[in-house]
Structure 1
Amino acid sequence: MTDAEQVVRTYEGCQFFARQTHLPAQALQTIPITWPFAVWGLDMVGPLKRTPGGFTHLLVAIDKFTKWIEAKPIAALRAADVASFFRNIVYWFGVPNSIITDDGVQFTGRSFLEFCDEFHIRVDWAAVAHPWTNGQVERANGMILQGLKPRIFDRLKKFGSRWAAELPAVLWSLQTTTSRATSCTPFFLAYGAEAVLPSELKYGSLRIQTYGDEQNTTNAQLANDLLDEARDAIVVTSAKYQ
């Protein structure tokens, strides 16, 4: 085999479509998940139907530990928009250890990489031949789209351009729904308490009816104990797959 043939065979596009890979064998690299908001998966969805505001794509990020999902509509595939999106995540949840993403132009651009350097965030690239490395964010993409469909369905226009307006409600439902992977809601794993839902106010749940300083102190102590147990269980489960 000539040197040119070897280069072509190991080229990224060839790797993706070839029946077998031609890269040298390497040890599998596992990504340990040991605390909330330490490792995020990052991806993009689109193009979607253009909204009145000009949005055509959706940036999506998921915390690997709590399964908390963040998303932001964007109008162009620019690294500066990705940097702005993730800067807000840092301001809400702290600086992560690493971000897992693909090599799309919006993720390899200077603005985003300079942002990661500024905060000392490691970028782990999901292999083209092994996209399931970032499988959690791919599933998050699907859950968001599935949540949007019934909200924007129109018999005449099919799936309309209201998806950006409905996005916050979909994210809220995902953050307050129990994850099969953790047996907890992302909201609980993030904040140590379940979110108060409108239905609780409408029908008067027990915690709404018994709201008071003394009861709140007791509930907070219990929630902290349950939170520690839940997070420890996730660490143990994650370690089984390392």
Structure 2
Amino acid sequence: MQVKEPWEVLGLDLIGPLPETARNTKFILTITDLYTKWVIAEPMQSKTAAEVSAVITTKLYMFGMVRKIITDQGKEFVCKLNDSIFSMLKIKHAVSSAYHPQTNGQDERTNQNIKRTLRKYVNDNHNDWDLHLPAVVYGINTAKQYSTRHSPYFLLFHRHPRLPEVMNACPMGDDFVVADPEDDIDARVNKMKLLNETVCIAIIKVLHNIKKAQSMQQKTFQNRKRKVSNYKIISHGTGIHDLWQTWVSMEEEEVGTVSSRVLIT
């Protein structure tokens, strides 16, 4: 899918159910801008169509309207309420096929990033994840992305974020332009022109990098398809649960070459 500008196409997905927090939240609605990779993650008490729709409309009125929204076939997304909202706002709703989840792969990568990072900060009971979620999302949005070579923050707001003093000790990069309050008007105008030129160059690079990354992902997907073999599916009598395997299943992650530690998946 060719996305040409920020906040044009969004991918939506749900993480959950998670351990219930003190604020009664159990789910996370993730919204990803497919151009900038900007992520919004909203803690929710339920995944009803009404609550999901309320979050979607709030974010659209905050950041502006989009052309298309991509979701899976969950009933919280595919419902009359969302149909009427998207129709009113002139937004196309595309539903990814259950048999072709790669069409909404950016959301899966977003969810994995959020879950992987949250695991590092939650308490032993894993019921305070919503307190750490804003910082985790901020970290994702201010980190340089592989496919665009820029941070989502810069691509969406055309400037780098103001960071805490301890972080400001690190250089922000050549494309970071700060207007000194003591500068005269001409100097500020020149700086804004320089920033606009930088943004234009960044946009061209982003389109090229996204196209290159998509091509590589397509080749990887095709190679995996060629290697598919026929397997016999064996039922173990257990239900399939979303997210960190509902905090029950465990996997071992190798650390170095000598030891391992257990992680919640």
TM superposition score category, shorter chain reference: 0.7 to 0.9
Q: Tell me which residue corresponds to 1:173.
A: 139
User: Which stretch has the larger CA shift, 99-108 or 202-211?
Assistant: 202-211
Which residue does 2:253 correspond to in 1? none
Is the deviation greater in 191-200 or in 46-55? 191-200
With over 3 angstroms needed to count, the CA separation of the structure-2 counterparts of 1:221 and 1:101, relative to structure 1, is: same
Q: Tell me the number of residue pairs that the alignment of Structure 1 and Structure 2 aligns.
A: 208
Given that 1:78 and 1:109 are in contact with CA atoms closer than 8 Å, whether structure 2 keeps it comes out as: no
- Aligned runs of 1:33-112 on 2, under 5 Å? 33-112=3-82
Residue in structure 2 matched with residue 5 of structure 1 by the alignment:
none
2:202 maps to what in 1?
A: 230
Aligned to 1:137: 107
TM-score, structure 1 normalization = 0.78
Q: 1:209 to 1:96 in 2, by over 3 A?
A: closer
Q: Does 1:189 align with 2:155?
A: yes
Amino acid at match of 1:194: H
Q: CA RMSD in A?
A: 2.5
Structure 2 runs not aligned, ≥5 long:
216-265
Structure 1 residue 236 displacement after superposition = 3.7
Amino acid at match of 2:3: I
Match of 1:128 in 2: 98
Alignment of 1:5-20 (within 5 A): none
Q: TM (normalized to structure 2)?
A: 0.71
Q: Please, which runs of 5 or more residues in structure 1 have no aligned partner?
A: 1-30
Percent identity over the alignment is 27
Per mean C-alpha deviation after superposition, the further-off stretch among 212-221 and 175-184 is: 212-221
Structure 2 SS opposite 1:43: strand
Matched, 1:212 2:184: no
Alpha-carbon deviation of 1:239?
A: 5.3
1:174-202 deviations in Å (ceiling 9; x for gaps): 11110011000001001111001114576
What SS does the corresponding residue of 1:73 show, helix, strand or coil?
Answer: strand
Q: Which amino acid aligns with 2:4?
A: T
CA offsets per residue over residues 122-168 of structure 1, 9 Å max, x none?
111101100010000110001111121111143xx3xx111111111
Counterpart CA distance in 2 for 1:136 and 1:121 is 19
